Chain A
Amino acid sequence: MFRLHDVSYAYGGSQTGVAALSHVSLDVAQGEFRWLLGPSGAGKSSLLSILSLEVQASSGMVEILGVPVRQTRRAGLARLRRRIGAVKQDFGLLPDMSVFDNVALPLRLQHRAEAEIAHEVHAIMKWVGLENRLDALPPQLSGGEQQRVAIARAVIYRPALLVADEPTNALDERQAGRLMRMFHRLAELGTTIVVATHNDAIVAKYPAPTIELLHGHLVRDHG
Chain B
Amino acid sequence: MARQRYHDGLALRQALPGRFLPFLVGSMAFLAALALAGGIAAHSLSQRWTHGAGAVTTVQVPSPADPATATAAMGQMPATRIDAVLATLAATPGITGTHRLGDAELRALLAPWIEQTGDPSLPLPAVIELHTAPGQDVAANVLPRLQAQAPGVLMEHDSVWSDRLAALAASLQACAGLAVLVVMTVAVCVVMAATRAGLLTRRQAIGLIHALGATDSYISGRFATRVGLLALWGGVWGSMLALPMLLALSHLAAPFTAMGDAPATAPDWRDLHAWMALLPSALLWMLVVVPPAAGLTGWATTQLTVRAWLRRLP
In the assembled complex, 19 residue pairs joining A and B whose CB atoms fall closer than 8 Å, in A order, are A54-B211, A75-B216, A78-B210, A78-B216, A81-B212, A82-B213, A86-B211, A92-B208, A94-B204, A96-B14, A97-B9, A104-B3, A108-B8, A109-B213, A109-B214, A109-B218, A114-B3, A115-B2, A118-B2
| Least distance between A149 CB and chain B CB atoms (Å) | 13
A202 proximal to B (CB < 8 A): no
Q: How large is the interface on A (under 10, 10 to 19, 20 to 34, 35 or more residues)?
A: 20 to 34
| Least distance between A161 CB and chain B CB atoms (Å) | 12
Which chain A residue has the least Cβ–Cβ distance from B212?
A: A106
A55 proximal to B (CB < 8 A): yes
8 Å CB interface, A80-104 against B: 80-82, 86, 92, 94, 96-98, 100-101, 104
Query: Which B residues lie within 8 Å of A128 (CB)?
Result: none
B205 proximal to A (CB < 8 A): yes
Contact between B209 and A109, CB atoms less than 8 A apart: yes
> What's the Cα separation between A75 and B5 when bound, in Å?
28
| Least distance between B58 CB and chain A CB atoms (Å) | 72
Main secondary structure of the interface of A (DSSP, over half): helix
| Mask: chain B, 197-220; 1 = CB below 8 Å from A; 0 = not | 000000011001111111111100
Size of chain B's interface in residues, with CB distance under 8 A?
24
B186 proximal to A (CB < 8 A): no
A222 proximal to B (CB < 8 A): no
A105 proximal to B (CB < 8 A): yes
Query: Which B residues lie within 8 Å of A192 (CB)?
Result: none
Which chain B residue has the least Cβ–Cβ distance from A94?
A: B205
B123 proximal to A (CB < 8 A): no
Query: Which B residues lie within 8 Å of A106 (CB)?
Result: 212-213
Interface centre among B6, B204, B205, B212 (most CB of A within 10 A): B212
Contact between A55 and B314, CB atoms less than 8 A apart: yes
Q: With contacts A92-B211, A101-B9, A108-B8 known, is A114 near B218, CB below 8 A?
A: no
Query: Which B residues lie within 8 Å of A122 (CB)?
Result: 1
| Least distance between A108 CB and chain B CB atoms (Å) | 7
Which chain B residue has the least Cβ–Cβ distance from A119?
A: B1
A56 proximal to B (CB < 8 A): yes
A77 proximal to B (CB < 8 A): yes
> What's the Cα separation between A124 and B62 when bound, in Å?
106
| Least distance between B15 CB and chain A CB atoms (Å) | 11
B289 proximal to A (CB < 8 A): no
Contact between B215 and A78, CB atoms less than 8 A apart: yes
Query: Which B residues lie within 8 Å of A98 (CB)?
Result: 3, 7
B11 proximal to A (CB < 8 A): yes
Query: Which B residues lie within 8 Å of A79 (CB)?
Result: 213, 215
A52 proximal to B (CB < 8 A): yes
Query: Which B residues lie within 8 Å of A78 (CB)?
Result: 210, 213-216
A176 proximal to B (CB < 8 A): no
| Mask: chain A, 108-132; 1 = CB below 8 Å from B; 0 = not | 1110001100100010000000000
Interface centre among A55, A78, A100, A108 (most CB of B within 10 A): A78
Query: Which A residues lie within 8 Å of B11 (CB)?
Result: 96-97
Which chain B residue has the least Cβ–Cβ distance from A53?
A: B314
Which chain A residue has the least Cβ–Cβ distance from B314?
A: A56
Contact between A105 and B209, CB atoms less than 8 A apart: yes
| Least distance between A127 CB and chain B CB atoms (Å) | 16
Query: Which A residues lie within 8 Å of B217 (CB)?
Result: 75
A205 proximal to B (CB < 8 A): no
Query: Which B residues lie within 8 Å of A105 (CB)?
Result: 9, 208-209, 212
